[in-house]
Amino acid sequence: MSGETIAIDVEANVDEMFGDSSIGEYLDRPRKETSKAAERLKMLCEAVFGGPACGAVGNLRYQLLHASAAVLIRAKSAGASLGLLLVHEFKTDKWDMEKSAANLADYKSFVAYLAGMKPSDVRPGEIIGPINVRGGQFVPGEIPLFIGKLVSGPSE
């Protein structure tokens, strides 16, 4: 992959969750009849996960789905041949170990499902990929996706 251009998007946090909802919760939110949000979410699930109904991945975090699609869309528009979603967790004096553990479990579940792995094989400090998504109307399927997580801050 030497000489290739990569688009990198960073999801930075301390210990907060990946958004306020899972895919299933986002799908089940009450909306105006004219809203196309559920339809767009179903298209996003199909483009990234390769066709399962959103209900099949309802426990995964919506923010990670959206961020994965967004980096691929940006990579295509920038002429990059690879996309990297990097989750960067900062340990600060306000860092909460329990919240961080829940965040890590959500990250591992999402990446494991997307990459066809076991959650126990997904570890911070490693980049997983290439992952080939199906693609769709807006999400390119020809650009490989990489996902990684790093944690930085004062050591304990």
* pLDDT tens profile 35-77: 777 788 889 999 999 876 677 888 899 999 999 999 999 999 9
Q: What rounded mean pLDDT belongs to the chain?
A: 90
Distance CA 41, CA 125 (A): 30
Q: Is residue 114 part of a domain?
A: yes
Q: Is residue 98 part of a domain?
A: yes
**What is the tally of structural domains in the chain?**
1
Q: Is residue 1 part of a domain?
A: no
8 Å CB contact between 105 and 27: no
Q: Is residue 21 part of a domain?
A: yes
Q: Is residue 140 part of a domain?
A: yes
pLDDT average, residue stretch 122-137? 95
Task: State which residues form the domain around 88.
Answer: 6-152
Report pTM.
Answer: 0.90
Q: Is residue 84 part of a domain?
A: yes
Query: CA dist 1 to 82, 130, 150, Å?
Result: 9, 11, 22
Which of 7-16, 43-52, 136-145 is predicted most confidently? Answer: 136-145
- pLDDT on residue 155: 60
Which of 24-28, 43-47, 108-112 is predicted most confidently? Answer: 108-112
| Backbone dihedral angles phi then psi of residue 67, each to the nearest 5 degrees | -65, -35
Q: Is residue 82 part of a domain?
A: yes
**DSSP letters spanning the chain:** -TT--EEEEEEEESS--SSS-BHHHHHHS---TT--HHHHHHHHHHHHHSS--GGGGTTSBHHHHHHHHHHHHHHHHHT-SEEEEEEEEEP-TT--HHHHHHHHHHHHHHHHHHHT--GGG--TT-EEEEE-----SSS-SSS-EEEEEEEES---
Q: What percent of the chain has pLDDT over 90?
A: 60
Q: Is residue 37 part of a domain?
A: yes
